[in-house]
Chain A
Amino acid sequence: MDSSSDEALDIIVTNVVATFRTRCHLNLRTIALEGSNVIYKPEVGKVLMKLRKPMITASIWSSGKIICTGATSEDEAKLGARRLARCLQKLGFKVRFSAFRVVNVLAVCSMPFAIHLIDFTKNNRPIASYEPELHPAATYRIKNLKATIQVFSTGSLTVTGI
C-alpha cells in the first residue's frame, strides 16, 4: 500500500434523487399522447418522462407526485424539476411547483489500493457486514449520518444517503 503519494481523491456525485408535487391531478393519458420522450406504464399507473438537458428521468403519478432521478448535482435536479413542471404547465395542467426535496444522493470514489474485505469486516463489526455469496462489496452503515458505503475489494467506494 503506497500511502506516501499525495494524490487527491475525486468524489464524484453520480445520481441525485428528488421529489416534488404539482398540487393538481395529472391526466397520464394526455401526457402520454401529447408529450414526446414519454413512456406510459398503465399497469403501474405512472408515466416516465425523460429530459435531455439535464439528463433526467422523471416518474409522474396521477396524484401529482413526481420523482426525478439521474441528475449529477442538487442544483441540476432542481433545474430539471422546474423544466418538467413548465412542460406539464404547457400541456395544460394547473401546476404549482411545491415541496421540492432532495431524497437521495449517490457518489463514487476510488482508492488507489485494494481492500481485504474479510479483515475489514472483522475489524469493523457490527457497523460493517459482508456476505460474499450475496454481494461482492462490504456494507458499512454510518447510523448518525444515515449513510451507507459499499466497499469493493478493488478500492471503489459507493456512498448513498442524504
Chain B
Amino acid sequence: MSAAGMTCPGCGSTNIVDDDLYSQAQLVCVDCGSVVSEGVLANDPVGGSDVSFSRTTAVAKKPCANQIKGLQRVKAICRILMVNSEIEALSQTYYKMAYEHKAFLKVSLQKKDILTGCCVLVSCRLLNWPITIGTISCLLDADPMVVGAVYQEMVKNLSIEAPIVNVTDVIEAHCHDSVDVPEELAENSRDLTKRAVALVELAADSWIVTGRKPIPIMMAATYLAWQSLKPNKHRLKFSLDKFCQIAKVKKLKPAMKRVAEIKEVLCKLGKEIPWVGGAMTPNNVIQQVECILQHRYALLRRAMRTHEDALLEESQASFTSVVKQNGSNANGKEQPGDGDNNPHALPEHRNWGKRVLFAPPCVIHPKKRRVEQCEHKDVTGDEEISDSEIDSYIRTPREARDFALMQQMLPLSDSGKS
C-alpha cells in the first residue's frame, strides 16, 4: 500500500512515509509517530509469487555440453589438418547449424561425432582446400561409407552445394618428403608431385579416373612417378608392396590394377614416339615415361589418328569381303542379306569399347554376361493357375514328417557330438 492518500488514524495528518525498520516495511506518520500499517517480515505474497521460479532464474539459452564438446572437436580436427582460420570458422558455423537442425537434434552421439568431421569436410570443399572423405574417416576412426551417408544427409538438410574434389589437387597433399629412407630410394617431393600429377592428368584423359576411387589412383601414380624419376634396375624391380612399406601407407588392392591400366595407356602412347624403335611393353615403358609425359598431347593426337586409320582400313577390308561373298552367292541361292548384318548390330552396340582407342576399362574388357531368356512377353497377370503347379511347391505329408523328424534329430546329434 502506498503512502499517498492515507490519513493517520491518530492525528489525521497526511504526512505518512515509508520506513524500513529491520527490513520490515512500515508506514509511519511523521507528526505523531504512530505506525499506520506494517508489512510482514517476509514480503512474499501468500500462496507463492505470481512470477514462477524458473522465469526469475531464467538466463539466455546456452549450448549444451555435447554441442560445446562437438565444437571443440571441430576445432581440433581443423588444427590437425592445419587448415586456415576461415575454414575453421565456417566449419564451426555449420556444426552449430547442423546440431540445432531437427534432423540431427536427437541422433546418437556417434553420429554427432561424425557430423563434426562432415562440417570440416564441407567447409574445406567450399573454400577449395583439397581433402578426401578417407582422410576425415581416418581422423574420426569411422567407416567411410557411414561418414559419406552422414555427409550427404547434412548437405541435403542444410541445402549446401559443395563442389567435388579434383584428384590432382589432393595428390599434392599426399606426396611428402621421404624421411629415413636410403639415399638411392629417396626422392624430392616437388619432382615426385609434379610427375604424379601429370600421370593422373593422363589417366583422367584416358578414362581411368572417372568412376573410380581416387586413393588407389594416387597411389599408383605416385609409385610409377617414383619409378620413372630414376628408372634403374633396382627401382624397376621394386614392387608396389615394398613401395607402400617404405612410404608407410597401407597398400590398397585396386592400386595394382590401376598401375596395370596406366602402364597400358603409356604403352599405347609410347608406340607413337618416332625415335623409339622396338616393341613397347609394360616392362620397358617406364624408361620412356618422362618423354611420354612431356609430349603427351602430341602423342595422344598421333595415337588417335593411327587408330582411326586402322579402323578405316579394317572397315574397307570387311566391305570388300562382304561384296565378294554376295557376288559368289548371287546365283539364285537364298541369302538373307539382312540376317548377316543384324546379329552383328547388337553386339557392336555393346562392344563399342573395342572400336575406340581410350574408353573406361570395364568397356574395353567387358565381363561375359549370360543371355537372359525373356519369358514375360505373353504374361497378362490374370491367367489360370493350375493345381499341379501349386502342388509342386508343397511338401507331401510324408516329406513334412521326415523333415520334422530330422529337425528334432539334428540338435540331439549336435549335443551328442559336443
- Report the Cα distance A115→B352, complex, angstroms: 13
**CB-CB < 8 A to B210: which residues of A?**
114-118, 153
Is A153 touching B376 in the complex (CB atoms < 8 A)? no
Kindly report which residue of chain B lies nearest to residue A115, judged by CB atoms. Answer: B210
Q: Is B22 an interface residue (CB 8 A)?
A: no
**CB-CB < 8 A to B152: which residues of A?**
129, 131
Contact for A136 among B211, B359, B383, CB less than 8 A = B211
Nearest CB in chain A: distance from B358 CB, A: 9
Is B400 touching A83 in the complex (CB atoms < 8 A)? no
**A133 and B382 in contact, given A83-B389, A83-B390 (Cβ under 8 angstroms):** no
Number of A-B contacts (CB under 8 A): 125
Kindly report which residue of chain B lies nearest to residue A73, judged by CB atoms. Answer: B376
Q: Which of B148, B360, B404: most chain A Cβ within 10 A?
A: B360
Q: Is A121 an interface residue (CB 8 A)?
A: yes
Nearest CB in chain B: distance from A48 CB, A: 13
Of residues 64 through 123 on chain A, the ones whose CB sits less than 8 Å from some CB of chain B are 71-79, 82-83, 86-87, 90-91, 110, 112-118, 121-122
**A133 and B395 in contact, given A73-B379, A79-B379, A116-B210 (Cβ under 8 angstroms):** no
Q: Is A42 an interface residue (CB 8 A)?
A: no
Of residues 189 through 236 on chain B, the ones whose CB sits less than 8 Å from some CB of chain A are 207, 210-215
**A76 and B385 in contact, given A34-B394, A154-B360 (Cβ under 8 angstroms):** no
Size of A's binding interface in residues, CB under 8 A: 51
Q: Which of A79, A130, A154: most chain B Cβ within 10 A?
A: A154
Kindly report which residue of chain A lies nearest to residue B383, judged by CB atoms. Answer: A79
Is B376 touching A90 in the complex (CB atoms < 8 A)? no
- Report the Cα distance A52→B390, complex, angstroms: 11
Q: Is A134 an interface residue (CB 8 A)?
A: yes
Is B379 touching A54 in the complex (CB atoms < 8 A)? yes
- Report the Cα distance A118→B145, complex, angstroms: 20
Q: Is A159 an interface residue (CB 8 A)?
A: no
**A33 and B385 in contact, given A87-B394, A131-B152, A154-B363 (Cβ under 8 angstroms):** no
Contact for B164 among A73, A112, A130, A152, CB less than 8 A = A130
**CB-CB < 8 A to A132: which residues of B?**
164, 211-214
Give the size category of B's interface with A. Answer: 35 or more
Nearest CB in chain B: distance from A146 CB, A: 16
Contact for B352 among A112, A126, A131, CB less than 8 A = A112
Is A37 touching B145 in the complex (CB atoms < 8 A)? no
Nearest CB in chain B: distance from A142 CB, A: 16
Is A118 touching B394 in the complex (CB atoms < 8 A)? no
**A125 and B161 in contact, given A35-B394, A36-B394, A112-B352 (Cβ under 8 angstroms):** yes
Contact for B212 among A36, A136, A155, CB less than 8 A = A136
Is A7 touching B161 in the complex (CB atoms < 8 A)? no
Q: Which of A53, A91, A118, A133: most chain B Cβ within 10 A?
A: A133
- Report the Cα distance A35→B392, complex, angstroms: 9
Q: Is B414 an interface residue (CB 8 A)?
A: no
Is A78 touching B381 in the complex (CB atoms < 8 A)? yes
Is B212 touching A75 in the complex (CB atoms < 8 A)? no
Q: Is B391 an interface residue (CB 8 A)?
A: yes
**CB-CB < 8 A to A147: which residues of B?**
none
**CB-CB < 8 A to A74: which residues of B?**
381
**CB-CB < 8 A to A82: which residues of B?**
381, 385
- Report the Cα distance A35→B391, complex, angstroms: 10
Q: Is A137 an interface residue (CB 8 A)?
A: yes
Q: Is B362 an interface residue (CB 8 A)?
A: yes
Nearest CB in chain B: distance from A34 CB, A: 5
Is B164 touching A118 in the complex (CB atoms < 8 A)? yes
Q: List 23 A-B contacts (CB under 8 A).
A: A35-B394, A36-B392, A53-B375, A54-B375, A72-B374, A73-B379, A75-B381, A79-B379, A79-B380, A82-B385, A90-B391, A113-B352, A114-B360, A114-B363, A118-B166, A122-B164, A132-B164, A133-B132, A134-B148, A136-B211, A154-B359, A154-B363, A155-B363
Q: For the A-B complex with A76-B381, A112-B352, A154-B353 known, give 13 more contacts whose Cβ atoms are closer than 8 Å.
A: A35-B395, A36-B392, A71-B376, A78-B382, A79-B381, A86-B385, A87-B393, A131-B148, A131-B164, A132-B212, A132-B213, A136-B213, A154-B363
In the A-B complex, the 3 residue pairs with the smallest Cβ-Cβ separation, listed nearest first, are A78-B381, A153-B211, A75-B381
